[in-house]
Structure 1
Amino acid sequence: MQKIVALLSFLVIVCVAPVRAESVNGEPVEKIDWDILMPADYSPLAIFDTSQFSSLDDYDPMAEIKLKAMMEALSSAPVVPEMDGKMVRIPGFVVPLVEEGMKVSEFFLVPYFGACIHVPPPPSNQIIHVSFAPGVNVENLFDAIWVVGKLSVKTTVHELGTSGYTMEAFKVEAYKE
């Protein structure tokens, strides 16, 4: 009987013991989603009036003017200053920027597959420029990943897009929920 009570006591302690949160370099890691990187009052759809787009021909000079204005608005989307310096874990997709073979050491992390490859790219507050010195093997760009690292509010301009955030990654792994 004493053994059963001791075993039950142990199981209660183990089951109700707090789950140890992930930490990197002694800093707690906060799991975030993409919405937190946009100010609460920001909406990419509210930036410009799209009602005229369907009536524009590809060769209409106004179409080029509208596209340029849209690209400028997307590349200067407001960020959330409070995110600067946070250690975060965020899922996303890789858009390679610096690669050697299958190993990617610098990339844009984006919230959905195909972002930055197609025009227009996501707003800059939905693109994170990631540096991961050891590099990560990227076998399939369709596969989502988790990235853990220190987030900074810093703009990076690249021909594929403009990021409003940068991250020094400490861990990159396959996405599993």
Structure 2
Amino acid sequence: MILSSVAILMGLLVGCNNSSASKSEIEHSVIDDAVIHDVAPTYKTVEWTDLMPKSDLDALLNPPEYLDNIEDGSFEDVISNQVFNALTSANDDRYQQALISTNIIKEMVDQPIRIPGFIVPLEFDDQQNITQFFLVPYFGACIHMPPPPPNQMIFVSSSLGISSNNLYEPFWITGILKTAINENELGTAAYTMHITTIEPYTEEE
């Protein structure tokens, strides 16, 4: 599985295929009354592109020619990286529409899934455990880089909290996928998940 598939589709030079987390480095913590353990076989492993409608995927795979004319580091490039064009041109630009799309795959809703991703913390408890976060397909999303499209972000809430160690590493997340718009200054998620387990990311054989 390619963890950074959406990042590649959007032309972002970020990936995490070479990223891995040592299980010894991660504190096993309780998440929504479930202790970290081996993933149950009933959870279907999915890729991020499985959550995106084909029309949005096709639009991202075929970016407009004007993007090739933007020089790296230019004013236009900076504005583009802030998704300014997505907000101002969405009415008539299919590519820009896909960048802010909240369209979901209805068949995925209420399904038990297993998906890899990076954690973007949103809220912490008094012990600095993460209680709310976005799960995203590539490292640096929402903080060092523009956020993914909303249909490529999953909002997760865990009242018991998750250790904030090793946030530079990807994780496997399992749970029941739901749909709900969750907006934050860091981005907008079109999906949410009732999480059951979390474990270090390792490549699938």
TM exceeding 0.5: yes
Residue equivalent to 2:199: 173
- The structure whose RCO (Cα within 8 Å, separation 6+) is larger is 2
Question: Tell me, what secondary structure is at the counterpart of 1:42?
Answer: helix
Given candidates 111, 115, 125, the residue that maps to 1:90 is 115
Question: Tell me, what secondary structure is at the counterpart of 1:35?
Answer: helix
Distance of 1:176 and 1:52 partners within structure 2: 38
**Residue ranges of structure 2 left out of the alignment (5+ in a row):** 1-38, 91-96
CA contact (8 A) 1:136 1:172 kept: no
Residue equivalent to 1:54: 71
- 1:30 maps to amino acid: K
Shift of 1:96: 0.2
- 1:145 maps to amino acid: F
Structure 1 residues 130-162: Cα deviation after superposition (integer angstroms, max 9, x where no partner): 112221112121111111111112211110001
Distance of 2:63 and 2:194 partners within structure 1: 30
User: How many residues in Structure 1 have an aligned counterpart in Structure 2?
Assistant: 150
Residue equivalent to 1:36: 50
Given candidates 143, 146, 164, the residue that maps to 1:138 is 164
Q: Which has the higher Rg, Structure 1 or Structure 2?
A: 1
Shift of 1:54: 3.0
Question: Tell me, what secondary structure is at the counterpart of 1:79?
Answer: coil
- 1:131 maps to amino acid: S
Given candidates 154, 176, 180, the residue that maps to 1:154 is 180
Residue equivalent to 1:125: 151
CA contact (8 A) 1:132 1:170 kept: no
CA contact (8 A) 1:98 1:106 kept: yes
Distance of 2:48 and 2:83 partners within structure 1: 25
Shift of 1:124: 1.1
Residue equivalent to 2:40: 22
Residues 89, 56 of structure 1: alpha-carbon distance in 2 compared, 3 angstrom cutoff:
closer
Q: CA RMSD in A?
A: 2.8
Structure whose residues are more often strand by fraction: 1
Distance of 1:145 and 1:133 partners within structure 2: 19
Residue equivalent to 1:68: 84
The share of aligned pairs that are identical, in percent, is 36
CA contact (8 A) 1:75 1:161 kept: no
Shift of 1:47: 6.5
